[in-house]
Amino acid sequence: MSLFKQGNIQKWMKQVGDEIAPGDVLASIETDKAVVDFEMQEEGFIAALLYPEGAKDVELGKIVAIVVENKSEIDAFKNYSADSASAAPAAPAAAPASAPASSAPSAAPQQQQAQTS
């Protein structure tokens, strides 16, 4: 049995600035076996989408989106990129539906990072 190690972002269902709630679908992720919906577990606003729609071979566990609690915090992530995410220290993550979401206070605006699974 093989486990997938990467996926493709088939389609973003939400865009920067959109409000999200638990159960909302953020994106459709294509693996070698199926296309699965990436459901949100937290509420907030999409501050950044770190990969373009159609991105291929995004590694398992990579941060794909940033979610903030308040709409006013979106501008803080205007220039945030996938490179910024991989260089950043561990931050709270909004995990996919298969894993619990976590959040912790930080000096920066409260943020959550959606990761591929």
Closest CA to 11 of 55, 47, 45: 55
Q: What is the pTM of this model?
A: 0.69
The vertex-40 CA angle with 87 and 113, nearest 5°, equals 10
Tens digits of residue pLDDT in 41-83: 999 999 999 999 999 999 988 899 999 999 999 999 998 887 7
Distances (CA, A) of 47 to 38, 75, 94, 95, 114: 17, 7, 13, 16, 11
Instruction: Produce one character per residue of 61-96: b if its CB has 16 or more CB atoms within 10 Å, e if not.
Output: ebbbbbbbbeeebbeebeebebeebeeeeeebbbbb
Domain ranges, ordered by start, for the chain: 6-115
pLDDT, position 32: 84
Top-confidence range, 1-5, 11-15, 77-81, 90-94 = 11-15
The CATH architecture of the domain made up of 6-115 is Beta Barrel (2.40)
